[in-house]
Chain A
Amino acid sequence: MDLTVSDLSVTLGGRKVLDAVAARLQPGRVTAILGPNGSGKSTLVKALAGLIDLDAGHVRIGGRLVQRIDPRERARTIGYLPQDATVHWNLAVRELVALGRLPHRSPFAGPSAADESAVIAALAATGTLALADRAVDTLSGGERARVQLARVLAGTPDWLLADEPLASLDPAHQLGLLERLRGLAEAGMGVVVVLHDLVQAARAADEVLLLRDGRVIAFAPAREALAHQPLREAFGVEVMVVPDAEGRLLPIPIGRS
């Protein structure tokens, strides 16, 4: 099921945050959204998730308009990991991950066997099975990020939209989380991830969507989008492109242009 955006414009508080954005995202790929602060990345992800009103344009999943899909059905199709990952009550990890099953459960019914096994599978897939009975307050930042991912995966969505999941993680946890996202894409899930780090994007993404002031500067395979000219245009920085051991080209910012 493709996720397609056509001629998308969004205005928030009188400011045009997204302007005529168009892209066709494919399942089984990791698409990274990059851009300077305030360029509309989070808004684009929310629009993809069907969470905000659009001024113009459409977001379609498998040909259907996301905003027209019943919210519970949409929730079963699109998993969204917000940037603000605050957990307001001190739940046990298992309870938190089980929240991901809410769109699958009928009202007032307890969790089914399928719910239970999806929660266990999500805990296992994120390496958090051993944390299941811990309280969320006792987790480290890295553990928390994995548990939040497990919450989304427990809903077994076709698409995962993650808004800056690497923020506040140390390099080892960043690499670990990106590897997990790659693994999910290889298993057939569509993965959209907002990133800040050009090098991480070059390592993890198949496609890159560069935004500036709500407009698409480039939407192309990572190698083409993370090159001198598009990065200069999007971020106003000069980069040095360095090949890594696996032949990927890593752009390293060296100065402002």
Chain B
Amino acid sequence: MSRAALIGGLAALAALLFAASLMAGKAWVPPSAWFSADPLWWIVVELRLPRAILALAIGAALGLSGAVLQGYLRNPLADPAVLGVSSCAALGAVAAITLSAMAAPLLLFGAAMAGAGGAMLLLAALAWRSESPVAFVLAGTVLASLAGALTAFLISIAPNPLAVAEVMDWIMGALTDRSFAEVRLALPFLAAGCGLLLFTGRALDALTLGEDAARSMGVRMDRVRLLVVLGTGLAVGASVAVTGVVGFVGLIVPHLLRPLAGARPGALLLPSVLGGAALLLAADSLVRLAPGAGEVRLGVAMALLGAPFFLVLLLRERRRAWI
């Protein structure tokens, strides 16, 4: 498939799913009711539009972060969680929920971004001078487990069961009841993060041949490291800050697209932006269609769908390797 056809196709798919996301839910809003005085249209504008915008932007950010990290670490199993940024952002949000009486969206968002920022600083301190991606992953893993332990500690000392319920609810990840306030908060960070990450394409291509070869080809590794840490920090931090933890997008999207876009890491970035957006829009529309009054949590649904899918993918690759 040509690159233009792939990108055009993915963009069309994302646009289609965006429209579907405005229509789908407990109440169906057919296009005939759009832009009318029909109260259903208010559901679209007030409830579904911000939610669809967030799904689009966060899916794009997570897909892109995954593609960049897999290229940077030269490892197809890397995803945004490996740097520990998402765990630290979650820790920030959980701290805001448990330690304050009323977690307003702005406070929650600020605390999560502070957590992500702290993760970036620690990553820089732990792994900046090291040349190898292993040090980076190790530092990220340490950060993630530390943040996990602190999160558990905060839950255990939560002042009341209500706060615990709120934390659990938030941690599972969802886009339910998000408003334009959250869109306004998150969008600038998501855009800035994605913008930085899109500059890494050439360097990721060169890194295919290892770090020494990349540097001999004129790549400044310190600059790439800065772009990767800052870009994923902003993009993933802002994603977690508004949705909670939604996994698997960054892992699956580059995998899905590699057979179509080719293995060159730089060629995978733009398709991963669009593919991530499409995947999260589709998933967020599906969770609303669950029978009963409630919804399946987006994070839970992604894991439920993502894990078996990924397993099948791995098995297929293994079988190909065995033959």
Are B217 and A99 closer than 8 Å at their CB atoms? yes
Partner of B209, one of A76, A79, A90, A99: A99
Are A102 and B206 closer than 8 Å at their CB atoms? yes
Known contacts: A74-B218, A75-B218, A103-B218. The answer to whether A95 contacts B262 by CB under 8 A is yes
Which residues 199-226 of B have a CB within 8 angstroms of A?
Answer: 199, 202, 205-210, 212-213, 215-220
How many Å lie between the Cα of A72 and that of B220 in the bound state? 9
Candidate in A46, A70, A75, A78 with the most chain B CB atoms within 10 angstroms: A75
Are A91 and B216 closer than 8 Å at their CB atoms? no
Are B213 and A82 closer than 8 Å at their CB atoms? yes
User: Number of A residues contacting the other chain (C-beta, 8 Å)?
Assistant: 33
A56 within 8 A of B: no
Partner of A102, one of B217, B220, B262, B265: B217
Chain A residue with the shortest CB-CB distance to B70: A89
Are B210 and A82 closer than 8 Å at their CB atoms? yes
Which residues 43-80 of A have a CB within 8 angstroms of B?
Answer: 46, 49, 51, 70-76, 78-80
How many Å lie between the Cα of A216 and that of B262 in the bound state? 46
Is the contact region of chain A dominated by helix, strand, or loop, or is it mixed? mixed
Partner of A89, one of B74, B218, B219: B74
A247 within 8 A of B: no
**Residues in A whose Cβ lies below 8 Å from that of B207:** 88
User: What is the number of contacts between chain A and chain B, taking CB atoms within 8 Å?
Assistant: 73
Partner of B212, one of A74, A79, A84: A84
How many Å lie between the Cα of A96 and that of B220 in the bound state? 20
B69-89 interface mask toward A, CB cutoff 8 Å, 1 = contact, 0 = none?
A: 000001000000000000000
A100 within 8 A of B: yes
B263 within 8 A of A: yes
How many Å lie between the Cα of A90 and that of B212 in the bound state? 19
Chain B residue with the shortest CB-CB distance to A76: B218
Known contacts: A89-B264, A102-B202. The answer to whether A78 contacts B216 by CB under 8 A is yes
B137 to chain A, nearest CB (A): 15
Chain A residue with the shortest CB-CB distance to B263: A89
Are A89 and B208 closer than 8 Å at their CB atoms? yes
A12-52 interface mask toward B, CB cutoff 8 Å, 1 = contact, 0 = none?
A: 00000000000000000000000000000000001001010
Are A100 and B264 closer than 8 Å at their CB atoms? no
Residues of B within 8 A of A (CB): 74, 199, 202, 205-210, 212-213, 215-220, 262-265
**Listed A/B pairs (7) with beta-carbon separation below 8 Å:** A70-B218, A74-B218, A87-B208, A87-B209, A89-B74, A96-B209, A107-B199
